[in-house]
Amino acid sequence: MNRLIRIALVLYLVIFAANIQGADKPKNIIILIGDGMGLNYVAANVLMHEDSPFRKFATIGLSITKSIDELITDSAAAATAIATGYQTRNRYISVDTNYNKLYTIFERAQSLNMATGVVVTDNIPGASPSPFYIHHHSRHDYFEIADQIVDSKLDVAIGGGAEYLLPIEQGGSRKDSVNLIEELELLDYKVYYNFDDLSGSFPSEKIFGLLDMGSLPRASQRDYSLGKLTSIAVDHLNENDNGFIMVVEGSQIDWAGHDTNYVYLLVEMEDFATAVNTALEFAENDGNTLVIVTSDHDTGGMTITDGSFNADSLKIEFINTHHTAGFVGVFAYGPGSELFNGIYDNYMIGQKLFKLLDY
Ligand SMILES: [Zn+2]
């Protein structure tokens, strides 16, 4: 009898522990990166908009953004930290200081048969998204990065940069006569070149939305939002019963910061907020999706020096035209979000995500 009770107790504890673990782990993970989005960028969006999605997060952390050997990081090293759980040198894309490949959360997700996707307003081979799906020692080698992207098994990729996949003879900028779009089609991807066609795509398709030769137009100059692109990507990725992981980048927030152009910046933040809203709405309905909103670094040390609560009257100033070591926020919603409270180095975001992927 005693033995039976002991066995029952052990079984109960095993099931109880498994339930606790299961409850904390999301089926889907959506990571939204506002490139260059220091804390005051978020403050401006919150001050300007009563319905800013940033107001909806209850779990908030602060991330230290340095690279392995420099206080001021670039986007490649910072995204590598988030994608792999390890810091590296500026310019490196998911390789360590000896050029060894660093295992990424996308590769882990694919090993679990989850879907993977990316949506950016930069080029798809850009420095922020690339560390999630390729490995290379220089962010500047766009053609080599594009070569690897074709084989990276992404289910969804939407952004700009068609020129890096097409030879000069066909309007691209490749000098090697290679046409990577043909290779994508051989791998059963449907390739779309404009928003209208992309919005008519079937969720069951593997898609590449190459919406521009270079990066996408500024938010103020296109008639679709990052939120719309995110919604299309989610429809596709959510077809996978094993769940999905995706990265959405508001790439040009950083460019506005480098330009110290606050009008450009505020509109890019509003565009990024549409994507945060899309992700939160999906997560609220789904109930099993973790949403993380963060940044790779601050740009320009922007701050708000005067004004009222009126959108048009914020006085915004920048300290310089470069990246800074200012904190960035980590806003988390959904199962597993509690892991993201506190102050930690950027690579801990990757390590926490790996933990949620049972690695
Ligand atoms: Zn930058």
Q: What is the pLDDT of residues 85-109, one digit of tens each?
A: 999 999 999 999 999 999 999 999 9
pLDDT digits (tens, 9 = 90+) for 208-236: 999 999 999 999 999 999 999 999 999 99
Cα–ligand 1 centroid distance for 255 (angstroms) = 6
Helix axes 75-84, 347-356, angle to 10 degrees: 30
312 pLDDT tier (thresholds 50, 70, 90)? low
Distances 226 to 173, 216, 230 between C-alpha atoms, Å: 26, 10, 6
Q: How far is residue 265's CA from residue 252's CA, in Å, rounded to a whole number?
A: 8
Domain range annotation of the chain: 28-356
d(CA 164, CA 155): 19
For the full predicted model, state whether its pTM sits above 0.75.
yes
Question: How many Å separate Cα 182 from the centre of its chain?
Answer: 27
Q: For 116-153, write each residue's pLDDT tens digit.
A: 999 999 999 999 999 999 999 999 999 999 999 999 99
How far is the centre of ligand 1, averaged over its atoms, from the C-alpha of 90 (Å)? 12
Tell how far the Cα of 92 is from the centroid of ligand 1, in angstroms: 15
Give the confidence band of 10 by pLDDT, cuts at 50, 70, 90.
low
CA of 35 to the centre of ligand 1 (A): 7
H helices of 49-179, where? 75-84, 105-111, 142-150
Distance from C-alpha of 193 to C-alpha of 172, rounded to nearest angstrom: 13
Is residue 201 flagged as an active site residue? no
- Specify the CATH architecture of the domain 28-356: 3-Layer(aba) Sandwich (3.40)
Question: Which one is catalytic: 52, 63, 67, 75?
Answer: 75
Residue 176 CA to ligand 1 centre (angstroms): 29
* Residue at token pair 């922007």: 302
What residues have a C-beta under 5 A from ligand 1, the ion? Answer: 254
| Beta bridge mates, 288 | none
Instruction: Give residue 4 CA to ligand 1 midpoint distance, Å.
Output: 63
